[in-house]
Amino acid sequence: MNNFPSSAGCSRGVGRGDKQKQKRYQGLSHNLVSKYTILLQGQGSQSGESVQEVAGDSRGSVRGRRVITDVVPSRPSEVVSKSGTSGTQITVQANYFKILKRPEWTIYQYRVDFSPDVDNTRLRRAYLNEHRSLLGGYIFDGSLLFCAKQFKCPQNSVYVLELVTKNRADESIYIKIKAAGTVEKADIQQFHVLNLILRRAMEGLKLELVSRNFFDPMAKIKLENYRMEIWPGYQTSIRQHETDILLCAEVAHKVMRIDTLYNILSDCVRDYEDYRSAFRKEVVGMVVLTDYNNKTYRVDDVDYSASPLSVFSTKDGDISYDQYYKKRYNITIRDLKQPLVVSHPTDKNIRGGMDQLIMLIPELARATGMTDAMRADFKLMRAMSEHTRLPPERRIERLRVFNRRLTSAQSVDVLRSWNLDLDKNLVEIPARVLMPEKIFFGNQKHYTCDNRADWTGEFHKTAMYGHVDIKRWIVITPKRSLRETQDFVKLCIRAAAGMKMTISEPRYDEIPDDRNGSYSQAIDKAASLDPQIVMIVLKTSNEEKYACIKKRACVDRPVPSQVVTLRVIAPRQEKSGGLMSIATKVVIQMNAKLMGTPWMIDMPMRGLMTVGFDVCHSSKNKNKSYGALVATMDIRTSGRYFSAVTEHLKGQELSDQMAMNMRLALKAYQEHHGALPERIIFYRDGVGDGQLHQVVHIEVELLKSKLDDIYKSAGKPEGCRLAFIIVSKRINTRYFVNKRNPAPGTVVDDIITLPERYDFFLVSQSVRQGTVSPTNYNIIYNKMGLSADKLQILSYKMTHMYYNFSGTCRVPSVCQYAHKLAFLIAESINRAPSSGLENQLYFL
């Protein structure tokens, strides 16, 4: 296998993917527009060169990858209105701009082929651009041409045009253009074209494409002390919403490190005797950016046998890497002895015919992303948050600036040439604020949530709703840390007493050192004494030690465990009341792990099981993922749960595992109540747009079928009353109330929702910094007999029941529990936990 540098200039380099045949779209009638849509997101071009384009200039292509997704209709035909009625009516502004005029044009679509084939998109565009006087204004994406002119087929030919141009070697390149259909104003292809036009207009903003989005390097913010830069930018998409075509615009930021892989290599050479292993460990898995072509790559290996002097083959003959970069980019590589970094081709590259390893020069590859050490640096995170966590007022102003830039100068010429007009104001939407929830504690006391959505302070004076006294427990601590550990345990006992919970003095197991083996032996010894819970003290956060402890306590010797670090429980500079607050949170966690109930909400519905499901990918093995299911056993009176987690390989469907784990959850519920639940609401997290079809047509169908069988065999011929809701956190929608964050419980279910979905947006949490992010709920199946209003209220209630934080969270608690469990297994345990823990929240 030959190896190639990261450039489209090689004869078989990354440009090969452009040979993939583009999908041809059939025109859809207007009444099907709600069933399909096309979303476009940018990603770097093969050439990486900037595109200067004006209306009518055929270089008018869009740099970037189009992510084309069929929208899966999930709105039941009987649902006339998906709007709720409860709560206080308000008006919010959202980060959307209305397209004022629906296009009235007809666009002709053509397929463009080159003979001999040209696999470099930049060259394809350049060759076609030579004939712009004939073609007029058009958009060309490398394979498909959209043009306002209609060309007729000559007799005895399948091509409407056959053009000829010359390459650098003075060889003839034949361009063959074939008719592929039309795009009428009612066609779904219209949104494809609209997004292409928008991207073309955005090129007038002088932004750069990095990975998938446009950023403004001229407005970059330098954090000199941390060798980092923050590039502001935008994420955009045009889509058909309930009644209008809307442009969604969101402010984005890209964290760019000034460090190159060569800097990291130099540090490893300086700091480690075995610098090769240290460098490989540091960079493998990292995503890097090459400035010369604005492309990103994942590092998969380091080749110490190769250097910039190594030679590879091109269509013009053999050439060394240093000569190639000098000739192609006029870049002089300074260190000719540095090793090369290897990036494996992606699945998309392989499908496109490129299966060679991509070789990168450390000196030219800039590190991206943040290390764990960076994330742990409080000062760095605070410095970044000042620029990235924009409060609503600043975010709105940035959006208005974007709008002004887009409707001025060169950009507006592009829009007007296609007869498009963009509203200058943010879209205003009717919304509702749901009634605040009451949080119930012990002794029949309750607290009504305010806009902070946080009831932590109530535990200093109130008993927990239900608690489990801890009479047998063991604390494992390094011998040198015994005094600090004992002081913290005393605080925990005091905090528990304030919440009317009894914690006895523990038995201390002092280990001589903090090696993994010492912790494992101590856990084995502790488990043999049948404690209720074990507390393990670490000197500092250490992923390897934490994984070792959790494997032992969750798999080999199952026992509920609570891991704490000295840095948290015995900080050098203790703030007033800080340690007592930490002790209170630890006690609440331990109580929840022992099936206690720290607090409760008002849940009027009887016989309800709520279920959360999430998937987490293993960072150690990218082909493995773990799907976790967490279900409530009694949401009205106790904190009993059932959990299960299963491993699956990349590309494997989750349907069977999900149905199997649901069968186990129903069995546990039946053992607890003597009957099956009357209703089940299933929240599914971790679903991308590309997986929606599979979830709707495979997962839900199989789950529904299996549950109906269980219910019918139990004497319930009507089957299971199930609702299945997809929960999405990674969305670009934001909304504001009078330039401020909306209050927790603010629901939007019109205007910006999608006509083909039964969906709504909900802000359930409060934030101290930046702009709050809503969560999208897509109800893809509903036979519970509940209205949209009741499902919205129920979903909001469930965001109050996550016992790891005494406040609301972004998603229903069962989703957050499922995520916590899947993350623990994927990152630390990498195997199924003991079934003996399945009824406890051991993973908190």
Same domain? For 713 and 582 the reply is: no
The chain-wide mean pLDDT, for the chain, equals 84
Which of 566, 593, 620 is the last residue in one of the domains? 593
Residue 356 in domain: yes
Same domain? For 711 and 656 the reply is: yes
Quote the number of domains for the chain: 3
- Given pLDDT bands bounded at 50, 70 and 90, which one contains residue 14? very low
User: At 357, which CATH number?
Assistant: 2.170.260.10
Residue 113 in domain: no
Please tell me the predicted confidence (pLDDT) of residue 171.
Answer: 87
Average pLDDT on 678-684 reads: 95
Which of 593, 619, 641 is the last residue in one of the domains? 593
Residue 825 in domain: yes
Same domain? For 555 and 614 the reply is: no
Alpha-carbon distance of 218 to 91, in angstroms, equals: 36
Q: What percentage of the chain carries pLDDT values higher than 70?
A: 88
User: At 474, which CATH number?
Assistant: 3.40.50.2300
User: Residue 573 belongs to what domain range?
Assistant: 467-593
In the residue annotation, 301 being an active-site residue is answered as no
Please tell me the predicted confidence (pLDDT) of residue 353.
Answer: 62
Residue 266 in domain: yes
Other CB atoms within 10 A of residue 632 CB: 26
Phi, psi of 76 (to 5 degrees): -60, 145
Which of 593, 627, 656 is the last residue in one of the domains? 593
Instruction: Kindly name the residue from 141, 322, 685, 759 that is annotated as catalytic.
Output: 685
Please tell me the predicted confidence (pLDDT) of residue 564.
Answer: 95
Taking each helix axis from N to C end, the angle separating 392-406 and 409-417, rounded to the nearest 10 degrees, works out to 70
Lowest mean pLDDT among 183-192, 458-467, 604-613, 803-812: 183-192
Please tell me the predicted confidence (pLDDT) of residue 367.
Answer: 86
Contacts of 654 (CB under 8 A, 6+ apart): 615, 627, 648, 699
- Given pLDDT bands bounded at 50, 70 and 90, which one contains residue 23? very low
pLDDT higher at 170 or 400: 400
Instruction: Kindly name the residue from 322, 614, 634, 789 that is annotated as catalytic.
Output: 614
Residue 353 in domain: yes
User: At 796, which CATH number?
Assistant: 3.30.420.10
pLDDT higher at 731 or 255: 731
Yes or no: say if 822 and 626 are a contact pair by the CB < 8 Å rule.
yes
Q: What is the 3-state secondary structure (H, E, C) of 339-401?
A: CEEEECCCHHHHHCCCCCEEEECHHHEEEECCCHHHHCCHHHHHHHHHHHCCCHHHHHHHHHH
Q: Is the pLDDT of residue 573 over 60?
A: no
Q: Is the pLDDT of residue 46 over 50?
A: no
Yes or no: say if 233 and 213 are a contact pair by the CB < 8 Å rule.
yes
Average pLDDT on 132-155 reads: 82
Q: Is the pLDDT of residue 837 over 60?
A: yes
Please tell me the predicted confidence (pLDDT) of residue 107.
Answer: 83
Same domain? For 278 and 345 the reply is: yes
Task: Give per-residue pLDDT as tens, 271-308.
Answer: 999 999 999 988 988 888 888 887 888 899 999 999 99
pLDDT higher at 576 or 424: 424
Same domain? For 579 and 619 the reply is: no
Same domain? For 528 and 589 the reply is: yes
Residue 25 in domain: no
Yes or no: say if 402 and 234 are a contact pair by the CB < 8 Å rule.
yes
In the residue annotation, 423 being an active-site residue is answered as no
Task: Give per-residue pLDDT as tens, 415-466.
Answer: 877 778 889 999 999 999 999 999 999 988 999 999 999 999 888 888 999 9
Same domain? For 654 and 522 the reply is: no
Same domain? For 288 and 347 the reply is: yes
Residue 648 in domain: yes
Residue 310 in domain: yes
Same domain? For 576 and 656 the reply is: no
pTM of this structure: 0.83
Same domain? For 579 and 620 the reply is: no
- Given pLDDT bands bounded at 50, 70 and 90, which one contains residue 334? very high
Yes or no: say if 213 and 254 are a contact pair by the CB < 8 Å rule.
yes
Same domain? For 798 and 694 the reply is: yes
Lowest mean pLDDT among 19-23, 576-580, 805-809: 19-23
Same domain? For 656 and 709 the reply is: yes
Three-state DSSP at 30 gives helix
